[in-house]
Amino acid sequence: MGHPVTLGNDEIAMKVLINQEEIDRGIARLASQLHERYGKEPLTIVAIMTGSLVMLADLIRSLEMPIRISLIRATSYRGGMTSGELTIEDSDMLDIRGRDVLLIDDIFDTGKTLAEVTRRLERQQPRSLRTAVFLNKRGNSVVHQEPDYSVFEIPNEFVVGYGLDYDDLHRNLPYVGVLEEADIAAHRRQFGLSK
Ligand code: IMP
Ligand code: MG
């Protein structure tokens, strides 16, 4: 059972956690919540790359207010599943002073990324700043902040697809799948990677 995908030299069966139709409905739900909140007011979306790329592309095409897009890059996962130092690259940021801003990310896990980027954006004094994540992983948060909008809540499993990666792969899957511990361990052994 599950969708066949390639991981290293193996073909594994990926368990689908959230399918395409559910994702479409989830993004439509978020869009209508945002229409309710902002009406026809212009909105600046700050999207954390690379994970929120797919969500960004879908969401903006469901929104009717004037949209500005600003990309920043945050890297916290290095070479797999372990959480590394958080680095943020925001040199291309649009000016957000006095703007209504929505910060989006692929997943809220420990919450450190969203909390740190929120702190940075607040320094630029936007008119309002809210946060939306595609997935909210329960049980790992180490920060006091919660996202204002979560499209889906998921259990504490490692997921890929719809922008989310393992080792920079699988972002293009049109669904959210669970990557099993056993498959990851086998992949790491094949390539001599340490955990
Ligand atoms: P946080 O700072 O711990 O909340 O981590 C957020 C970042 O960790 C996300 O932007 C993802 O890049 C990555 N991440 C956390 N959990 C997963 C997962 O299950 N699959 C893929 N990436 C994840
Ligand atoms: Mg990421």
Other Cβ atoms less than 10 A from the Cβ of 124: the count is 16
Look up the CATH number of the domain holding residue 59: 3.40.50.2020
**What is the atom index within ligand 1 of the atom nearest the CA of 108?**
4
Alpha carbon of 40 to ligand 2 centroid (Å) = 30
Ligand nearest to the CA of 164: 1
**CB-ligand 1 contact for 158 (6 Å cutoff):** yes
At 195, the pLDDT band (50, 70, 90 cuts) reads: low
Provide the pLDDT for residue 154.
Answer: 98
Q: How confident is the model at residue 151 (pLDDT cuts 50, 70, 90)?
A: very high
Supply the pLDDT for residue 131. 98
Task: Band the pLDDT of 75: cuts 50, 70, 90.
Answer: confident
Q: φ, ψ for residue 115 (rounded to 5)?
A: -65, -45
Ligand 1 site, residue 55, Cβ cutoff 6 A:
no
Query: Tens digit of pLDDT for each residue in 86-143?
Result: 889 988 889 999 999 999 999 999 999 999 999 999 999 999 999 999 999 999 999 9
What is the reported pLDDT for 82?
Answer: 62
Q: What is the mean pLDDT of residues 182-193?
A: 86
Answer yes or no: is the C-beta of 51 below 6 A from any ligand 1 atom: yes
Which residues are known to be catalytic? 109
195 lies in some domain: no
Residue 193 has a pLDDT of: 81
> How does DSSP classify residue 174?
S
The per-residue pLDDT for 159 is 97
Amino acid in the structure at residue 176: V
Beta carbons within 8 Å of 70's beta carbon, 6+ residues apart: 44, 45, 46, 47, 92, 93, 94, 96
Which of 106, 109, 162, 183 gets mutated to test ligand 1 (max ligand atoms within 8 A of its CB)?
Answer: 109
Host domain of residue 83: 3-190
How many domains would you assign to the chain? 1
Answer yes or no: is 110 within a domain: yes
